[in-house]
Structure 1
């Protein structure tokens, strides 16, 4: 049943992301990735609101958490999960690990993207 909640929430989140992408392109153009910027920031804010709420409402169901956080926000943006992980490391006092996680994730993700593109260019 948990997978169903994630599946449905993920579809809704992905649909909303597509809507924001289209609306942003029409409103602001495509010279700057406003859509991704907005999605990452707004998703992180919503993740903070939900995580904060669930931290103080221990009676919340696991299915609701999965539907909202893993499903909807996971389909909308995984940056919100990244932001939450970094904040949790920081709040646990693991500042060095938080910095390593943030810098490493960004550098390796962008580096991996360039490596993947270079590999495809080399073999095609």
Structure 2
């Protein structure tokens, strides 16, 4: 049953990642990987929220492993950073790595704090 929940969450997260990436690229252009940055920060926030609220079991499988796992993408993050370096945009690549890391960690931390608040209210 858990595997099915992960699959269901991933079936929503992966297409959403694609759609968000394309929408952001249309608005902001393709010179910087804003789409991947957006989904990775959003997914970090959601996963932090789930962890902070101590969500477990089926909800963790569906929303955490499935949805957030498919929404976020470390492989694309790495690929895009390398492509920026190969294209001679070292400063942009460095900014991308630093901003992605800081924003992802910050979003996860904020999500955890908010999730802990939700958990406390629910008790």
TM-score range, shorter chain: 0.5 to 0.7
2:91 corresponds to: none
Cα distance in structure 2, aligned partners of 1:52 and 1:61: 11
Instruction: State the structure with more CA Rg.
Output: 1
Q: Which runs of 5+ in 2 are unaligned?
A: 84-123
User: Judging changes above 3 Å, is the alpha-carbon distance between structure 1 residues 21 and 72 closer, same or farther for their aligned structure 2 residues?
Assistant: same
SS in structure 2 at match of 1:31? coil
> Number of paired residues?
79
- 2:57 is aligned, of 62, 83, 86, to 62
RMSD: 2.2
Q: Quote the offset at 1:20 in angstroms.
A: 0.5
Separation of aligned partners in 2, 1:62 and 1:18 = 27
Q: TM-score, normalised by structure 2?
A: 0.57
Q: Shift in Å at residue 61 of structure 1?
A: 5.0
The correspondence of residues 84-123 of structure 1 with structure 2, limited to 5 A, is none
Q: 1:71 aligns with which of 52, 59, 66?
A: 66
- Determine whether 1:14 maps to 2:14: yes
Counterpart in the other structure of 1:57: none
Q: Which runs of 4+ in 1 moved over 4 A?
A: none
- For 1:37-48, what aligned pairs fall within 5 Å after superposition? 37-48=37-48
Deviation at 1:78, TM superposition (A): 4.7
Deviations 1:73-116 (A, max 9, x none): 0110155xxxxxxxxxxxxxxxxxxxxxxxxxx9xx67xx79xx
